Amino acid sequence: MMAKAVAIGRGVLQDTTDGGEKMVVWKDFVGKVLDAAEKCPRTAALIHTLSTGEEQQDDLVVPEMALFRQEPEDLSLTDGTNMVREGTQEVLDVDRILKVLDVNCLTEDAPAADVLGNNGIVNCGVGLWILPSFINHSCHPNARRTHVGDHAIVHASRDIKAGEEITFPYFDVLVPVSKRREASRAWGFECKCDRCRFESEDFTLKQEILKSENDLVNGGDMGALVVRLEERMRKSMAKERRKAFLRASFWSAYSAVYDSDKLVRKWGRRVPSEALVAESIADAVGGNENVLRAMLRGSKDANGCGNWLEVEDKVVRIGRATYGKVVKRHAMRALFRLTLDANNNINL
C-alpha cells in the first residue's frame, strides 16, 4: 500500500515549507489504508499483526505465517477462520490502525527515488509494507531498502551471518551513542545492540566517548579528536569491528578533517585515509550514502594516478551495499553521481 506525493516542475501542492504537502499525502494515504482494510479482511488481518509501538516486545504474539503466503489456497483464510475474523474486528479500530501506521510506515529515500522514479518527476512516497515492518532497529544494521515503483526491496548492506537478525537503521547511526539513545527513546525503545553495549559498558571507554562527544559539540580541532581516538584504538589493540563502531560514532569529526585541506595537512598520516575509514565503517554498519560519498572522494586521488580500476571494486561493493545488488551498473553510476556533490565530481 503506497501513496505518492508527486512534485512536477513548480509543483501541484501550494506550499511545502509549512509541512502542508506532508499532511495532504498522509491524510490521503491513511484514507487509502482504512479503505483497503475495510474492503479486505486479509489486509485488515495483516495490518493487525503489526506493532502499535505501545506493547512490550515480549508480549507481541508471533503471527500465523500462513497469513503472509500468497498462494490461492491461503486466501481461504479470509473466509471465516477465527484468526481472521478476530483480527478483522480489532483492526477496524481506526485508532489502532493510525498507531500502526505511525510506527510502521516507510518513506522512499530521495536519491533512489530520483534515479529510479519517472523522468524528472520527484517521487516522495510513503507506504506500508507488511513484512519489512517486522524488521527491528540496530545501530549495527545489516540491511537497507531500495524503492522501485511500489516495491520496497530489502537488501543486505553488509555481510550477514547465518541466523543473524535482519535489522534496519531507523535513524542516522553515524552519530555518537548519546544521540542514538535520544533517537531510539523518541521511537519508544532503548537500543541494546552490540554497538550500543560496547560503547556504554566499559568505564574508561565511556569516559573517553563522553569527552569526545563534548569536543564534538564544542567545536575546535577535529583532527586532534580523531588522532586521540585512533591512538586509543591502537593502544588497546581494538578489533576492526570495534574501531569501525567508534569511527562511525565520530564520523562527523572524521569528515570535518577530510573536508579541510588545512587539517589534512596538519595531521598528515596520523589521520587514516578517508577511503580506509569509509571501508571500515561499511564493513561494520553497512553501506550508506555518507560512507559511499567518502569512499568516492577518498578514491579521487587514486583516480588521478590512474588507479581507478583498483578502487572501483571497493566502490561498487559499497554501492551495492547501499543500493542493493538489483540495481544495474548504469543505475549505480547515476546513483554515484547523485551521491557526490558538484564540487567533488569525479569521472565515473
Using CB under 6 A as the criterion, which residues of the chain lie in contact with ligand SAM when the complex forms?
A: 50-51, 53, 57, 60, 103-104, 133-134, 136-138, 187-189, 191
Complex with ligand SAM: residue 101 or 124, whichever CB lies closer: 101
Using the minimum distance from each CB to ligand SAM, give the nearer residue, 68 or 187. 187
Query: For residues 141 and 298, which CB has a smaller minimum distance to ligand SAM in the complex?
Result: 141
Q: Which is nearer to ligand SAM, 7 or 154 (CB)?
A: 154
Q: How far apart are CA 167 and CA 17, in angstroms?
A: 33
CB of 110 to ligand SAM, least distance (A): 21
Q: How far is the CB of 101 from ligand SAM (least distance, A)?
A: 11
Closest separation between CB of residue 210 and ligand SAM, Å?
A: 23
Q: Least distance in Å: CB of 243 to ligand SAM?
A: 23
- Of 138 and 339, nearer to ligand SAM (C-beta) is 138
Q: How far is the CB of 51 from ligand SAM (least distance, A)?
A: 3
